[in-house]
Amino acid sequence: MGSEPPSSPQVVEDGGEEDEEELSGGEEADLRSSSGRGSLLTRRGITLRVLLKDGLVEPGDGVLAIHYLGKNFVGDLLNDGKIRWVETGQIFNSPSAWATHCKRLVNPAKKSGCGWASVRYRGQKLVQYKTTWLHKYQPSADMSLVSEEDDDEDEEEGKTAVQADEKNKNNKPGLHDVMVSRRTDRERIPVRYCTLGTRDAARDPHTLVELSAFSAINRFQPFNVAVSSNVLLLMDFHCHLTTSEVVGYLGGRWDTNTQLLTVLRAFPCRTRLADRDSASAVEEEICQNLFMRGLSLVGWYHSHPRGPALPSLQDIDSQMDHQLRLQGSNNGFQPCLGIICGPYYHGNQGVASTITPFWVVPPPEVKQRPNDYGIPVAVEVTYVQDNFLTSDVLNEMMLLVDYYRAAPDLVQFSQYWCPDTTMMDKIKGSLSCHAPKDQAYSQILEHVYSQLSNMQ
């Protein structure tokens, strides 16, 4: 599911001809000290460090993006003005260096990156922030100090990218797409199940797949599902805390007479996906908690932090394994519910996370097509509104706060999710969608939010 960034990120300095315009930290300091803000700062003097120092931009995860010829690249803006490419962890000294590197992956003949016009900060081109800086601090400056040629070229690339995206909607993604740009969560483009065909070892296991409806495959949903609002609240809270993928289990009851699956508790796994040593201990603790509460394991959840809440090929196989394991625990049918939560995908409607319950229909009979993937289908769920926030849920929230307190991938809640909404506003707004009927919960959650603020 998730992937860990390289432990020793490579610093990339090659940015083509335009990269020569980027000043080193010493040159920038010398220029400022000799001329002062009152003197005209040349175009090459306005760097990301300048914009950071003067508060026009802020460091943050995933705030930078490049869209080029139908391909998308996402970067983190670091405190020192450097850029970390999310996909590989490589560090770039300037927008031009990063843009040139990314564009050459798509088009090897590309000579320069036109970084300030190609790189966008929170959706707006960096060149516009450079213009804003000049307007604010040097209103008498010649606006030609900002490159217009870069802007024009990027517009053409943007048009080409849109055309390429439209064309790709009707084409099955191939190995070339995977090799050129292994997409992060936010960049992955879902495919239709009917385009998958048989298993292919060369296909990216992180390829997202659109959900089918039971009716589309001539079936009825074989069970009903009811999910407690407190389950959604705890699950959504867990997924909001970190930029890395998280996972947890679902506890509840299965009634064979009514064919109703009731999901009553969420059990977040306070461990890293790559930490196999602690995983078994965490799972054992969850099993004990299930037993003590008289509940059964009825499903699992995980997050796609910055991407659509749709299953990947790997998720489909994992869900199928969970279904077979639960069904094998007794001699009768028992469904296993999978839920994907997408908290920080900018394609969501408003601040609320997208929460997607799904199930996997086994592929056709072995004699017919044994190598097909299972079919991911959307599950219709009834959400049951809880009257109050239980002490169990509050305790789990505080344990999660303690677990992620010193984590390097902790979400910075003081930063902005969008121009007028901080990350803290974002999580509050999303959790309010699962609010208990008793309004006293708000005072309890404010205590939790205050703990989050103290973690920064």
CATH number, domain at 233? 3.40.140.10
What amino acid is encoded at 53 in this protein?
K
- Is 352 inside any structural domain? yes
pLDDT at 366 over 90: no
pLDDT at 193: 92
pLDDT at 140: 52
Radius of gyration of the chain (CA): 25
Separation of alpha carbons 125 and 118, rounded Å: 7
Residue 285, domain extent: 202-454
Domain boundary among 137, 163, 187: 137
pLDDT at 324 over 60: yes
Q: Residue 53, SS3?
A: helix
pLDDT at 334 over 80: yes
Neighbours of 387 (CB within 10 A): 11
**Six-digit token pair at 188?**
């992955």
- Is 278 inside any structural domain? yes
Q: 89-98, 162-171, 294-303: which has the highest mean pLDDT?
A: 294-303
Residues 6+ apart with CB under 8 A from 59: 52, 76, 77, 78, 79
- Is 440 inside any structural domain? yes
Q: What percent of the chain has pLDDT over 90?
A: 40
pLDDT at 295: 94
In the 8-state DSSP scheme, what is residue 307?
S
Do 88 and 216 fall into the same domain? no
Q: Residue 119, SS3?
A: strand
Residue with the larger pLDDT of the pair 143 and 232:
232
Give Cα 205 to chain centroid, integer Å. 17
Residue with the larger pLDDT of the pair 312 and 11:
312
Domain boundary among 137, 153, 176: 137
In the 8-state DSSP scheme, what is residue 446?
H
Neighbours of 287 (CB within 10 A): 14
pLDDT at 259: 94
Residue with the larger pLDDT of the pair 331 and 246:
246
Separation of alpha carbons 239 and 444, rounded Å: 19
- Is 194 inside any structural domain? no
Phi/psi of residue 388, each to 5°? -155, 165
- Sheet containing strand 247-255, edge to edge, reads 375-378, 354-361, 337-342, 296-303, 247-255, 260-268, 224-228, 382-384
Domain boundary among 96, 115, 137: 137
pLDDT at 129: 85
Give Cα 356 to chain centroid, integer Å. 15
Do 274 and 347 fall into the same domain? yes
Do 206 and 294 fall into the same domain? yes
Q: Provide the number of structural domains found in the chain.
A: 2
**Residue range 180-220, pLDDT digits in tens:** 223 344 456 899 998 888 888 888 899 999 999 999 988 99
Determine how β-strand 416-418 pairs with β-strand 421-422.
antiparallel
- Is 12 inside any structural domain? no
